[in-house]
Amino acid sequence: MNQELVLVFDFGSQFGQLIARRVREQNVFCQLVRHDITAERVKELNPKGIIFSGGPSSVYEAKAPKCDPKIFDLNIPVLGICYGMQLACHTLGGKVAPAAAREYGRATLNVTNADQLFRGYPPESTVWMSHGDQVHTMSGDFVPLASTDTCPVAAVKHTSRPVYGIQFHPEVSHTPHGGQILANFLRDVCGCRGLWKIQTFIEETVQTIRAQVGDKRVICGLSGGVDSAVCAALLVKAIGPQVACIYVDNGMMREGETDLVRHTFRDWYKADLSVVHASEHFLAALQGVTDPQEKRKIIGRVFVEIFKNEAKAIPDAHFLAQGTLYPDVIESGGSKDGPAATIKLHHNVGGLPAELGFELVEPLRDLFKDEVRRLGIELGLPEDVVWRHPFPGPGLAVRCLGEVTAEKLATLRKADTIFLDELHKAGWYRKTSQAFAVLLPVQSVGVMGDGRTYENTVAIRCVQTDDFMTADWSHLPHDLLARVSTAIINRVKGVNRVVYDISSKPPATIEWE
Ligand code: XMP
């Protein structure tokens, strides 16, 4: 699709995706690929440049991930980062050996040769190092560009090939001018013009969707979340009435969620939307069930049954749209023995089984979450939808601890709405990653007026996280917490105590069930 492609070879770095993100921030389209991709395949993809990620290995280990050495003969610019630099130098005749001491953390970089790569770069600056080996002697074909106190060869360039290496990590925020190096590499070395824009993406994707689906109909499940909303909005733009949206209200949604979906898609986009009110069906199936995983399974199963029935009723439906994002693609594509550890949080039960027999349309497969949000804004989705915190497939069922009943859900929904409203009003919603209330199966003693009460407890949870794998509790201002607590206790019948969850993940999880 996009002519300006840059490939990031994955040598097992924890920062592979971050490198891809940084490249895209320069408006250059970028994809992460396996380190052992063949030179022929690279030639077909015709990238403007290649970046070798770092990685935990040492080039001399028998199992160290290598690249096809013919890559260097393609005359495509290569930037090796950390292990990537060592591999490039090693392959092209340099000597790599263990450093005197493993270096981890901040270091001061002195640029000794302000070559293209360091154009506009401060002569002295902070960089982030994390390595055990380093390039020691170089073949006569490399020249050094920069050094640190402990690493005499912290950046190199090949004299006759467009090959560069840097021992530090330009992609992390601890290297404050790292973006400049990537920008210099992309623009000056690779000749990229920075044509990757969300608008270009929309135009190209609209064409691709039209070509893929022809005159058939596409079913698109809406969950109330950002990804499915953006996916649906893009499809509606591409093929209008050929999209049939299905939203199943399982009764576990937050306050106003169903109305927001209906208003956005039916009233605003004029999309063909079926709203299935299935709350009673789900509640009946959940009756008496207290085990969290059991609740998830039941909700997943009932959802698939209902969705299947709804989909069957749509004539000519041939495709199913899914809001799969790029991180999901990389993570699920990572083979067990691939270099990057496959880490995935997904215990998603909202997924639909392949047996439904539809062909998939996944227009967001190449995007990161923040790009999806930008795309949503560009497509005219309301900010409320685009900036929504993630919400689990089983919804409030896993925030209503123990057995789920309509009454408990109503109590929880009220408390949750009060909390989120206060967060919005205080300008904290966008500063936090996920926030919600949990109804605990705990009664405690209180006083109200002259009387003694014995009522429920609500916990409020608010976290900061980049990847939802680890999370820190949000340090919300005390006066905000006080307002939330007072409002919940005053306005939600049956609640006389509010507690704030100050556990980080790990060892706790974000959800309580
Ligand atoms: P935990 O609780 O595992 O949550 O720290 C991490 C992220 O995953 C979400 N989550 C789920 N999402 N179905 C989902 O679609 C689920 O069953 C589920 N459980 C947790 C959670 O909200 C958080 O964003």
Q: Write down all domains in the chain, each with its CATH number in brackets.
A: 5-189 (3.40.50.880), 198-386 (3.40.50.620), 405-500 (3.30.300.10)
In DSSP notation, 67-91 reads: --GGGGGGT--EEEETHHHHHHHHH
Copy the structure tokens of residue 55: 């990685």
Cβ neighbours for 373, distance < 8 A, ≥ 6 positions apart: 226, 230, 386, 387
395 lines ligand 1 (CB under 6 A): no
Angle at 257 between CA 225 and CA 492, to 5 degrees: 125
Question: What average pLDDT does this structure show over 422-437?
Answer: 97
Which residue is catalytic, options 4, 103, 171, 257?
171
Question: What average pLDDT does this structure show over 150-170?
Answer: 94
252 lines ligand 1 (CB under 6 A): no
pLDDT greater than 70 at residue 330: no
This prediction has a pTM of 0.81
Query: How many CA atoms lie within 13 Å of 105's alpha carbon, on the beta-carbon side?
Result: 3
Q: According to the model, what pLDDT value does residue 353 have?
A: 65
229 is in an annotated binding site: yes
Q: Please state, in angstroms and as integers, the Cα–Cα distance from residue 450 to each residue in 337, 359, 446, 453, 455, following that order.
A: 66, 64, 11, 10, 15
225 is in an annotated binding site: yes
Q: According to the model, what pLDDT value does residue 17 have?
A: 85
Give yes or no for a contact between 473 and 501, defined as CB atoms under 8 angstroms apart.
yes
241 lines ligand 1 (CB under 6 A): no
Amino acid at 125: S
CA of 347 to the centre of ligand 1 (A): 7
Let me know if 169 is a catalytic residue. yes
Q: pLDDT tens, 65-98?
A: 999 999 999 999 999 999 999 999 999 988 888 8
Q: pLDDT tens, 339-397?
A: 333 323 333 434 566 667 899 999 999 898 889 999 999 999 999 899 999 999 999 99
434 lines ligand 1 (CB under 6 A): yes
Give yes or no for a contact between 456 and 442, defined as CB atoms under 8 angstroms apart.
yes
Q: Which of 369, 391, 400, 468 to mutate to test the pocket of ligand 1 (most atoms within 8 A of CB)?
A: 468
CA of 508 to the centre of ligand 1 (A): 12
300 lines ligand 1 (CB under 6 A): no
pLDDT greater than 70 at residue 127: yes
Q: According to the model, what pLDDT value does residue 103 have?
A: 78
Which residue is catalytic, options 82, 151, 192, 231?
82
d(CA 147, CA 498): 55
Window from 133-137, 257-261, 294-298 with minimum mean pLDDT: 133-137
d(CA 482, CA 422): 10
Let me know if 171 is a catalytic residue. yes
224 is in an annotated binding site: yes
d(CA 501, CA 361): 40
Q: According to the model, what pLDDT value does residue 419 have?
A: 98
Q: pLDDT tens, 223-274?
A: 999 999 999 999 999 999 999 999 999 999 999 999 999 999 999 899 999 9
Amino acid at 415: A
Q: According to the model, what pLDDT value does residue 356 have?
A: 75
